[in-house]
Amino acid sequence: ETGVTQSPTHLIKTRGQQVTLRCSSQSGHNTVSWYQQALGQGPQFIFQYYREEENGRGNFPPRFSGLQFPNYSSELNVNALELDDSALYLCASSLVPLDREEETQYFGPGTRLLVL
């Protein structure tokens, strides 16, 4: 158990709808990163939030947006869902700057999104 939780665990939506996924970070962590993992592939970095500000973004369109709250929990919002958005969405929490050299980030269990 990493202490990172995500909700919901599974979700089914139809094309064109909007979805909000939630992540609760590990206690003491101030940074959350979101990843998309399509079936059989490695995760793709979507974006990262640090102290409520976006702190880096991967190659994803603007319809992917996020929020980080003062308690460091986070949301990922996806508008105008497309079939290719079907994937496992993972959040990971971490402490930046690094508290110690060998620090790592901790992943939640993921939300599996199916778009029909």
Q: Which residues bind other proteins (CB under 8 A)?
A: 2, 31, 33, 35, 41-45, 48, 55-56, 58, 90, 92, 94, 96, 98, 101-110
Q: Which of 46, 36, 42, 50 is nearest to 93 (CA)?
A: 50
Complex with other proteins: residue 15 or 51, whichever CB lies closer: 51
- Residue 83's φ and ψ, nearest 5 degrees, are -55, -40
CB of 16 to other proteins, least distance (A): 27
- Smallest gap from residue 49 Cβ to other proteins (A): 11
Edge-to-edge, what's the strand order for the sheet holding 19-24?
A: 5-7, 19-24, 74-78, 64-68
Closer Cβ to other proteins, 78 or 91, answer by number: 91
Residue number with CB closer to other proteins (16 or 52): 52
Query: How far apart are CB 91 and other proteins at their closest, in Å?
Result: 10
Instruction: Report whether 93 contacts 31 (CB < 8 A).
Output: yes
What is the number of alpha carbons within 13 Å of residue 57 lying toward its C-beta?
Answer: 12
Smallest distance, other proteins to C-beta of residue 99, A? 12
